[in-house]
Amino acid sequence: MLPKWDKIYSVHHGKIDNQHKKLFELAAKVEHIFDKPVHRDEIKALLTDFFNYMKYHFDDEEKYMQFICYPDFERHRQIHKEIIQSMIKIIQNIKTTNDLKEKLYIMVKKWLLEHILMKI
């Protein structure tokens, strides 16, 4: 089960925290459909929403990190690129709806755990 947003995950920047909250909500939607029958179009729409919001968030987060002179900025930006590439691979290699649900869930879980939760 994926964790829910908690203030302990805060980076103490309102806009970034709100975006992280939204990503937790999208991750919860991915988890919710994981073991349920879902139409392929529904899972594609969720994947698209998650992917687009993630790119939007990464852009904002990188601008903020540059503004505060984040010491590990380049490495963090590289992680963002790797996450985006992983999502693109998932999109390109869709075989079945169940395959897509499984890959998306694994990616979201890995990303959420590594990207947001491990920063605290």
Residue 94 has pLDDT above 80, yes or no: no
In a domain, 101, yes or no: yes
**Do residues 112 and 28 make contact, with C-beta atoms less than 8 angstroms apart?**
no
Q: What angle do CA 32, 97, 2 make, to 5 degrees?
A: 25
Q: Work out how many domains the chain is built from and give that number.
A: 1
In a domain, 7, yes or no: no
In a domain, 8, yes or no: no
Q: What angle do CA 23, 28, 34 make, to 5 degrees?
A: 130
In a domain, 109, yes or no: yes
Mean local confidence (pLDDT), 36-57:
88
Structural domain of residue 84, as residue ranges? 14-119
In eight-state DSSP terms, residue 2 is P
Q: What angle do CA 102, 110, 42 make, to 5 degrees?
A: 40
In a domain, 5, yes or no: no
Q: Indicate the pLDDT class of residue 36, thresholds 50, 70 and 90.
A: confident
In a domain, 95, yes or no: yes
Give pLDDT, residue 118. 65
In a domain, 74, yes or no: yes
Amino acid at 89: K
Residue 120 has pLDDT above 50, yes or no: no
CATH number of domain containing 18 = 1.20.120.50
Residue 72 has pLDDT above 80, yes or no: yes
